[in-house]
Structure 1
Amino acid sequence: MDNRDIVQKSYQSFLKQYLQKQDEQMLYKGQELSRRAIEQNISPEEIVNYHVSMLKETYPDLPKEVLVSFDFLLEVMISYGFAYREHQSLRHRQLELKTEMEVAANMQTTLLQTDIPSVPEMQIGALSVPARQMNGDYHHFTCDENNCLGVAIADVIGKGMPAALCMSMIKYSMDSLPETRMQPSAVLESLNRVVERNVDPSMFVTMLYGIYDTRVHSFFFSSAGHEPGFFYEAKKDRFAEISTKGVVLGVTRQASFEEYQLDVAPGDMIVLLSDGVTECRAGDEFVEREYIVDLIRKYMHLSPQEIVESVYDELMRLQGFELRDDFTLIILQRDV
């Protein structure tokens, strides 16, 4: 006797005992039996057939109306069974996809991981948080033998797995270009060709890449349509928007990128961010860029790392702890 036969015999036995005694213990056994039926993929309509078969055997003189009612119940259970099995199949696939996404997210975290380097006369703060499991933002630091700091921040216009794969491609393309790392415009031109050839036309990448030269305390950078950051001049105690030009990566193969320079005095700060920072919402309204500046100013007595973490916490509270877009915020500050 196989397991399905055992379930059928058990069902009919428990039902018969319950009809005779109305013992609640049989109801508990029925609940356990339902779990065994699911494990054996026994459909609801089969359970109804077990039920009808036992009743006919036990009560051969059942009214015709009662027997006919079971025909109606059987049809209902057939449709229910189909829907239930489809639901179980979709649930199983959803669990498989969730597991795959978790594995992919962990792999992406490992692949895109970057350490904040120790640079003389400089403090660095960075925080990147994905809105979903996969991060469509990318940031990376390098430091050469001259203690020159390279910093990249990018954002894929898109979300989910495609954006994450694109970010991984950008990362490894960056790693293959060490000889041009001191030329931000050349870096973006090379990456633009990679994106234009390999990324779907509906997906674009914004990016800012810069080099902070500690020998002359200047920040040289180029932008590919990336969200403008801020520059804080300590001497004047004011924030100014970092204004740049440049098309997003992947639009045209022949794109060129202008290079800019910021001279950084003691106490000055360079603020780089993704649009997930400036497009936070308070209710249905986007926050103003000035609000982000006010938050940074509020925590300027802290270290850059503490500033980015405090700004993130404030914006999360503002949004009811629901991050709607990938969040990346970087602060570079020259020591006083």
Structure 2
Amino acid sequence: MDNKEQRPVVLAVDDTPQNLDVVKGILTPQYRIKVATNGPAALKIVEKQLPDIILLDIMMPGMSGLEVCRELKANPRSADIPVIFLTAKDQTEDETEGFALGAADYILKPVNPPILQARVKTHLALKQSMDALQQTSAELARAKQRMELELNVGRDIQHSMLPNTVPERSEVTLCASMDAAREVGGDFYDYYMLSEDELCFCVADVSGKGVPAALFMAMSKILIRSRARDERDPAKNITRVNAELSEDNPECMFVTVFFGVLNLSTGELVYTNGGHNPPLMRRASGEVEALRDIHGPVVAIMPGEEYGQSTLQMEPGDVLLVFTDGVTEAMDTSDNLYGDDRLFDVLKAVPDSNVRSVVDCVNESVAAFAAGAEQADDITMLAVRYNGY
């Protein structure tokens, strides 16, 4: 493209040809100059091609400069073009009206060349800055729209992977809760009957946010459930899942998992832990203990890792609470963590061992603690109560 064509376009409007010649003589080296000797002619030029800036005489026969400015500012296509009025010293009232109409500046006649050059340069630079800002704002708006779409997709994936029904067994009662953060994470829980007497359940938390975390969560959940059909041993199940997730994981995403199998006829719980928060057991007596005896690394990072498992006897009335770190790492407005101690205290204070009461009391406690603070992570819990055989 010719460099001349890249120069900014200045539209000069004045009913006196000599004044237009002066403007052209001052600005021609740096700018492309278009001229009009009356208001209607100026508006036709603007309609065909938008100039970058307009120099507009106020006192013109027929259509005054003020009327031209009013027309320009009323048209969305030309509303943002800077208008500099050229005025005589005795037109103070016109200046006031012109500014009210949206004029950018005034220059007194006779025109001083350095002043005209400086004002045109300044207002063109301001216009370019405003255009860049508007473009950035538009790009941010589009990015926000894409992010909102991604968040919705992530939430849909996350919620579609959660179980819809609870096993109807008199030996066990389940209650799950997920309070999703605005920025979608990768929490999930699952439960299903592995056999006539075996309840399989897990709670997991995938690293990262958005659609990638939701997709990795879906893959993790599917693998854990499908492998449980072939391998009932919790440790061997997670060892196998870890190997498969680690095979092709260039983003180094990982998932923390607590995975357990509860024998409904005996109350024996066999479980493994891959980098997850130690669950809390609320005994029927009201005592609370953390299951810290087994704790392997996070899943999907170390392909050769062998996970261990442990066994625990649940008695009628015992409640196991499995949760993600969104509970204990919830923060108040002063950035204090909710922490393990508060969770212990809430479980001890729950009036009964009803799983709904346990989950509700914890949720209410966390919400009260974090009131006014932004929720940074999903808050997910699964309470399992053994009722006896």
Deviates more, 1:217-226 or 1:281-290: 281-290
Larger relative contact order (Cα-Cα within 8 Å, sequence gap ≥ 6)? 1
SS of 1:270's equivalent in the other structure is strand
1:294 to 334, 345, 355: 345
| Structure 1 position 240 matched with structure 2 position 289 | yes
CA offsets, 1:277-311, max 9 Å, x none? 12223433323412102112333436312321331
* Residue in structure 1 matched with residue 111 of structure 2 by the alignment: 64
CA distance in 2, matches of 1:252, 1:8: 62
CA distance in 2, matches of 1:298, 1:324: 27
CA offsets, 1:53-106, max 9 Å, x none? x969xxxx9431475434431232123222322332232233233223323322
Distance change in 2, residues 1:296/1:316 (3 Å)? same
| Structure 1 position 95 matched with structure 2 position 145 | yes
* Residue in structure 2 matched with residue 320 of structure 1 by the alignment: 371
CA offsets, 1:93-133, max 9 Å, x none? 33233223323322332234553332222221111223233
* Residue in structure 1 matched with residue 94 of structure 2 by the alignment: none
| Aligned Cα root-mean-square deviation (Å) | 3.6
Deviates more, 1:303-312 or 1:210-219: 303-312
* Residue in structure 2 matched with residue 335 of structure 1 by the alignment: 387
Percent of aligned positions with the same letter in both sequences?
20
Query: Alpha-carbon deviation of 1:19?
Result: 5.7
Deviates more, 1:281-290 or 1:220-229: 281-290
* 1:44-123 superposed matches below 5 A: 44=80, 47-48=81-82, 51=83, 62-65=109-112, 67-68=116-117, 69-123=119-173
CA distance in 1, matches of 2:64, 2:158: 57
* Residue in structure 1 matched with residue 240 of structure 2 by the alignment: 190
1:132 to 161, 170, 182: 182
CA distance in 1, matches of 2:349, 2:72: 63
Deviates more, 1:188-197 or 1:94-103: 94-103
Partners of 1:141 and 1:151 within 8 A in 2: yes
User: Considering only CA atoms, is the larger Rg found in Structure 1 or Structure 2?
Assistant: 2
* Residue in structure 2 matched with residue 163 of structure 1 by the alignment: 213
CA distance in 2, matches of 1:128, 1:194: 27
Distance change in 2, residues 1:134/1:115 (3 Å)? farther
| Structure 1 position 309 matched with structure 2 position 309 | no
Distance change in 2, residues 1:138/1:257 (3 Å)? same
Q: Which amino acid aligns with 1:251?
A: I
Q: Which amino acid aligns with 1:240?
A: E
Distance change in 2, residues 1:333/1:131 (3 Å)? same
CA distance in 1, matches of 2:346, 2:49: 65
Q: Which amino acid aligns with 1:111?
A: M
2:279 to 229, 232, 235: 229
TM-score (norm 2): 0.70
Distance change in 2, residues 1:300/1:64 (3 Å)? same
Normalized per residue, which structure has more helix? 1
Partners of 1:136 and 1:156 within 8 A in 2: yes
CA distance in 1, matches of 2:79, 2:249: 46
CA offsets, 1:168-207, max 9 Å, x none? 1102212432423522112101110122113246432211
Partners of 2:204 and 2:257 within 8 A in 1: yes
Distance change in 2, residues 1:285/1:97 (3 Å)? closer
CA distance in 2, matches of 1:268, 1:302: 7
Partners of 1:231 and 1:269 within 8 A in 2: yes
CA distance in 2, matches of 1:18, 1:138: 70
TM-score (norm 1): 0.79
Q: Which amino acid aligns with 1:196?
A: S
Partners of 2:155 and 2:184 within 8 A in 1: yes
Partners of 2:317 and 2:387 within 8 A in 1: yes
CA distance in 2, matches of 1:275, 1:232: 18
Partners of 1:208 and 1:221 within 8 A in 2: yes
Distance change in 2, residues 1:251/1:198 (3 Å)? same
Q: Which amino acid aligns with 2:110?
A: P
Query: Alpha-carbon deviation of 1:22?
Result: 12
CA offsets, 1:14-67, max 9 Å, x none? x987865899xx6xx87753xx33xxxx694xx22xx45x969xxxx9431475
Distance change in 2, residues 1:21/1:73 (3 Å)? closer
CA distance in 2, matches of 1:88, 1:293: 49
CA distance in 1, matches of 2:278, 2:265: 25
CA distance in 2, matches of 1:55, 1:113: 73
CA distance in 2, matches of 1:186, 1:114: 27
